[in-house]
Homo-oligomer: A and B are copies of this chain.
Amino acid sequence: MNYYEQHQADFLEGLKTFLRIPSISTLSENKPDMRRAAEFAVNELRAAGMTVAELIEGEGESNPLVYAEWLGAPGKPTILFYGHYDVQPPDPLDEWKSPPFEPEVRGDNIYARGACDDKGQVYIQIKAVEGLLKTAGKLPVNVKFLLEGEEETGGEHIEAYVKTRPPRLKADAAVVCDTEMFAPELPTICVGLRGMVYYELFVQGADHDLHSGVYGGAAPNPILAIAEILCALKDRAGRIQVPGFYDSVEPPSAKERAAWASLPFDEKEYTEKEMGAKELVGEPGVPLFERVWARPTVEIHGIRGGFTGEGAKTVIPARAVAKISTRLVASQTVDASVKLMQAAVKAACPRGVTAELKVLHAGEPSLTNPDNPFIHAAAEALKETFGKETVYIRSGGSIPIVGVFDRYLGIPSVMMGFGLPDDNLHAPNEKFHLPNFYRGIQAVARYLEILGR
């Protein structure tokens, strides 16, 4: 048994400790947990043998960045590991089979908020480095870590920091472990990410709630108004109706389309088991992987207005609010898309109400050319560890830092992820497949060895 096989129980215990910290970045009451999670990562990095491991404090209420380095391989490339220690809120709480911050192993999986997204994968990076340092006493390449605590809230502060091009972030490539494998046992590298703009839409009718008997037929209803605005953004078939929204969308190449079409895939299983849905929807005539990886979306994440308690209240409410996002693909840009959305909401706003569309956070889409040595080495390491040819896919999710690294540090990002499609990211019963956790650690270590040859 090598170091990695010998220490699986320790790795699991360490991960559980990390997962017990409810580092929910969207909730202000969890502020102290953010710092606890960051300090946990610093301590782990120091214990792993990194020569520097410290917090980088940001301005005001920001969550600290975690920085670490080991630079004892002169002449060798420098790799910058990126991950995030913050997690999504766990609600709806009553749908979790075990509490979200009390990690539980059931079968081959560990269940907890953040198990896969992204604490489990951050821990893979740390433990890979630890194994090399504990056994060889050194790393085959130079390694830096930059972890953030605001990925789930838009990553504003890490972006501001990277934009200053700090000398300590100088590197040849970034390694991002925050994506998923296309299928169990199928090593996967992600080369494209959708961008995102997250909005809040406020609609205001009268300045106070009104009795629907007395005023129904004359009073503006902000709930119906917000429904009308939402329906104007997308038609019933699934096509975005925001004028101009598709104009700058780059279609995937014929080669990429052909590769996607040959991926092993069971649509019935995906629809019914993984999603738990009756049928797939979306733009007519566009293949599934293109819809979720290479086409923009408009989604509604939440809506609230009026009386939603037990029983009946015959009120015409004064206001309603919805949370909306658009996913963007190359070569759409955040700024242009926001202008189009704001114009569309304005045009769709019915009489008698006012509508305000506010941007909460945003990130640009990114698309990486897979023909570079850092991605080739990753494909080789994954193939060796998993025993299968590595496939290239895109992800429909958004990791804004990838575009930021490209633009401000001039480095490509290698997206080597170990999640699985049914890991319930952002949903109840998030899990991480433990065989992938252990193999992920070995694959990342092997990657560093290949780069150091």
B307 engages A301 (CB within 8 Å): yes
A361 within 8 A of B: yes
Q: Contact between B314 and A325 (Cβ–Cβ < 8 Å)?
A: yes
Q: Which of A218, A236, A350, A424 has the most CB of B within 10 A?
A: A218
Q: Is the CB of A313 within 8 A of B323?
A: yes
1/0 per residue, CB under 8 A from B, across A178-208: the answer is 0010000000000000101010000001111
Does B209 contact A426, Cβ atoms closer than 8 Å?
yes
**Of B231, B310, B314, which one neighbours A301 at CB under 8 angstroms?**
B314
Q: A209-B426, A211-B397, A217-B292 are in contact. Are A27 and B310 (CB under 8 A)?
A: yes
A396-B216 Cα distance, complex, nearest whole Å: 7
Q: Is the CB of A426 within 8 A of B217?
A: no
Indicate whether A9 reaches chain B with its CB closer than 8 angstroms. no
CB-CB under 8 A for A300 and B224, given A210-B275, A214-B292, A306-B323? yes
**Closest residue on chain B to residue A321 by CB atoms:** B308
Interface assignment of A60: CB less than 8 Å from any CB of chain B: no
Q: Find out whether the CB atom of A153 lies under 8 angstroms from the CB atom of B312.
A: yes
Q: Are A308 and B323 neighbours in the complex by a CB distance under 8 Å?
A: yes
Contacts of A238 in B (CB 8 A): 217
Residue A31 at the chain B interface, CB threshold 8 Å: no
Is A37 positioned at the interface, with any CB of B under 8 Å from its CB? no
For the complex, give the distance between the alpha carbons of A306 and B300 in Å. 8
Residues on the B chain within 8 Å of A282, using CB: 217-218
**A228: which of B25, B213, B236, B327 is its contact (CB, 8 Å)?**
B236
Main secondary structure on A side of the interface with B:
loop
CB distance from A295 to the nearest CB of B (A): 6
Chain B residues within 8 Å of A153, by CB: 311-312
Determine whether A278 belongs to the interface, using a CB cutoff of 8 Å to chain B.
Answer: yes
Complex Cα spacing A180 to B215, Å: 13
Contact residues, A249-298 vs B (CB, 8 A):
275-283, 288, 291-292, 295, 297
Contacts of A220 in B (CB 8 A): 277-279, 281
**Closest chain B CB from A442 CB (angstroms):** 26
A346–chain B nearest beta-carbon distance, Å: 15
Residue with the greatest number of chain B CB neighbours at <10 A, chosen from A25, A194, A215, A424: A215
Given A276-B207, A279-B352, A280-B352: A309 and B27 within 8 A (CB)? yes
> A223 in the interface, Cβ–Cβ < 8 Å?
yes
Asked if A78 is at the interface (CB within 8 A of a chain B CB), the reply is: no
Measured between beta carbons, the chain B residues less than 8 angstroms from A305 are 300, 302-303
A148 lies within 8 A of chain B by Cβ:
no
Considering the chains assembled together, what is the distance between the CA atoms of A217 and B213 in angstroms? 40
Contact partner, A395, options B213, B281, B427, Cβ 8 Å: B213
The yes or no answer to A369 lying at the interface (CB within 8 A) is no
Residue A91 lies at the interface, judged by CB distance under 8 Å to chain B: yes
Give the shortest distance, in Å, between A194 (CB) and chain B (any CB).
6
Residues of chain B lying within 8 A (CB to CB) of residue A383: none
Pair B308/A217 contact, Cβ less than 8 Å: no
Q: How far is the CA of A227 from the CA of B313 in the complex (A)?
A: 20
Report yes or no: B219 in contact with A275, Cβ–Cβ below 8 A: yes
Please give, as numbers and ranges, the residues of chain B lying within 8 Å of A92 by CB-CB distance: 209
The yes or no answer to A299 lying at the interface (CB within 8 A) is yes
A-B contacts besides A210-B426, A217-B292, A231-B231, 20 pairs, CB < 8 Å = A26-B310, A88-B314, A89-B313, A154-B312, A208-B424, A211-B425, A212-B327, A214-B397, A215-B292, A216-B292, A216-B299, A216-B327, A218-B282, A218-B288, A221-B299, A223-B230, A223-B301, A228-B231, A299-B314, A303-B308
Interface residues of A (CB under 8 A from B): 25-28, 88-89, 91-92, 95, 152-154, 180, 194, 196, 198, 205-221, 223-224, 226-228, 230-231, 234, 236, 238, 275-283, 288, 291-292, 295, 297, 299-318, 320-323, 325, 327, 350-354, 360-361, 395-398, 421, 424-429
